[in-house]
Amino acid sequence: MRQMPQKTYHFHPEEFLLAADVLRAGGLLAFATETVYGLGGDARNGAAVAAIYAAKGRPAFNPLIIHVADLDSAEKYGVFSDKARELAYAFWPGPLSLVVPVRRDAGLSSLVTAGLDTVAIRVPAHEGAHALLAAFDGPVAAPSANPSGGISPTRTAHVMAGLYGRIDGVLEGGDCAVGLESTILMVKDDVALLRAGGVAIEDIEAVLRGAILRPSDPKTPQSPGQLASHYAPNVAVRINAAAKEDGEILIGFGAVSGADISLSEMGSVSEAAANLFAVLHKADAMAANGQTIAISPVPMMGLGLAINDRLERAAADRT
């Protein structure tokens, strides 16, 4: 892959306009959201979307989320039912992506939807992301800004380490506050969970006043983040580890004896979610001479559901 010039843009009104120009010209721009850094391209530009796949080494059957500035913008690209709007009103801007029927006149690249009749849409809460989207005034396709299958980036340094020379620029936005990708819901006649993430399932069910469906088929993903092996460090990962074994870097949760690094020493799933990818990056860098990574159990409650989803995929067989 050819090496591309890469410019860093800063948190300033003029810089948002310059960063938007990168997207307008068909370039690739990494930018911070409250979840993780996204790798953005104009969702209407087939060449730009193809370049996202190429930069990440991403399978072409895995669809992308488009990011827009507000619900009015979202309705230009997707068909929103009353239930979808209720969820948007409750959680946007924020770490929730809604998969809705795509409008026939949406003008999106077919690579964005990967041939499906639906599109995943999100309105991010990060101030810099919102300013960029407002300046661009269009849909931005943006998976996480890392090589496909690797650990998602929550800091500019993570983006640089994984994609330097493959993209046109990075819009700095500090560390990601949520630190975990968005929750993805399919909203048709029913509401179905496609990916656990930054909005807890309990909060969604409280808004809907009822339970949601939880189907999953990793062979034919209908949304991003459903591949069996994903979010993976370079070394092997063992999850739900009761204790550290020889040759392991131990990532703890709560009060864990012998932990080399911790997701949350206090045992907070919210803190663990925010720290997850940064800790995986650090443990991956620490591992040497055949060492592997072990991770203490994280409870299946609140954001713990999303954390365990990411850890199971990080530990999945890669053959």
CATH number at residue 198: 3.90.870.10
Query: What digits encode the pLDDT tens for the residues 264-276?
Result: 999 998 888 778 8
In this structure, are 271 and 194 located in the same domain? no
187 pLDDT exceeds 60?
yes
Cis bond before residue 13 (omega within 30° of 0): no
Give residue 209's pLDDT band: very low, low, confident or very high (50, 70, 90): very high
Domain encompassing residue 103:
7-208
In this structure, are 184 and 287 located in the same domain? no
- Domain contains 192: yes
| CA distances in angstroms from 107 to 67, 110, 233, 259, listed in the order given | 15, 9, 36, 50
- Domain contains 246: yes
In this structure, are 82 and 168 located in the same domain? yes
In this structure, are 66 and 174 located in the same domain? yes
In this structure, are 204 and 242 located in the same domain? no
Q: What is the CATH number of the domain that holds 302?
A: 3.40.50.11030
Query: What digits encode the pLDDT tens for the residues 96-153?
Result: 999 999 999 999 988 888 778 899 999 999 999 999 999 999 999 999 999 988 889 9
In this structure, are 165 and 259 located in the same domain? no
**How many CB atoms sit inside 10 A of residue 292's CB?**
15
62 pLDDT exceeds 60?
yes
Sequence-separated (6 or more) residues with CB below 8 Å from residue 214: 192, 193
- Domain contains 1: no
- Domain contains 202: yes
Query: What digits encode the pLDDT tens for the residues 3-38?
Result: 565 788 888 889 999 999 999 999 999 999 999 999
- Domain contains 248: yes
- Domain contains 217: no
- The total number of structural domains that make up the chain: 2
- Looking at residue 226, its pLDDT comes to 62
In this structure, are 26 and 77 located in the same domain? yes
- Domain contains 16: yes
In this structure, are 195 and 133 located in the same domain? yes
- Domain contains 224: no
- Looking at residue 175, its pLDDT comes to 94
In this structure, are 255 and 172 located in the same domain? no
pTM exceeds 0.85 for this model? no
In this structure, are 117 and 35 located in the same domain? yes
In this structure, are 12 and 138 located in the same domain? yes
In this structure, are 76 and 162 located in the same domain? yes
